[in-house]
Amino acid sequence: MNESFAPAGLLKRLAALFYDSLLLLGVWFIASAVALAGNHGEPLRGLHPLFTLYLLAVTICFYGWFWRHGGQTLGMRAWKLRLENELPGNLTWLQVVLRCLAAIPSLALGGLGYWWLLWSPDKHTWHDSFSHTRMVDISRRSPSDPA
């Protein structure tokens, strides 16, 4: 990237996550309808582990498609955020999977993985660090950017 943008703040990240969760609920609804049809119309009783893995795969594909095609989900686009690779080259599917899997404890532990960016010198969340990615605010240039 030629341009250098400031790291994304906590509130914008959470707002984009909220927007995306609304869209993801719709995707899960469609994915659940497909699973229901695949089970001859019978509901899956309890927390079926294969269904849980299926929804996790759907979620990873949802985020992966957006992140690998422009670095922005619809929520990130609305809040002017973009996911960038810290490694040379484009974002890989391995980075997408690692980021999604690391985001689970980031959220599940009271959001600690997100709160971490308030103390991180590079303003990274746990899933940023784990996947070698960074979330930037494309509405703000980095103070070190001469442009």
Phi, psi of 83 (to 5 degrees): -90, 130
Type of residue at 69:
H
pLDDT at position 37: 85
The helix/strand/coil state of 61 is helix
pLDDT at position 124: 96
pLDDT tens-digit readout, 8-57: 999 999 999 999 999 999 999 999 998 888 777 777 766 678 888 999 99
Q: Are strands 81-85 and 5-7 parallel, antiparallel or unpaired?
A: unpaired
Q: Where are the domains of the chain?
A: 5-141
pLDDT at position 145: 56
Band (pLDDT 50/70/90 cuts) for residue 77 is: very high
The CA distance from 67 to 133, in Å, is: 11
Type of residue at 88:
P
Residue 11: both structure tokens together: 């509130």
pLDDT tens-digit readout, 95-144: 999 999 999 999 999 999 999 999 999 999 999 999 999 999 999 887 66
The helix/strand/coil state of 7 is strand
Match 């996947």 to its residue by tokens.
131
Q: What is the pTM of this model?
A: 0.86
86: DSSP letter: S
CB contact at 8 A, 13 and 6: no
Band (pLDDT 50/70/90 cuts) for residue 147 is: low
Cβ-count burial of 42 within 10 angstroms (0-12 exposed, 13-18 middle, 19+ buried)?
exposed
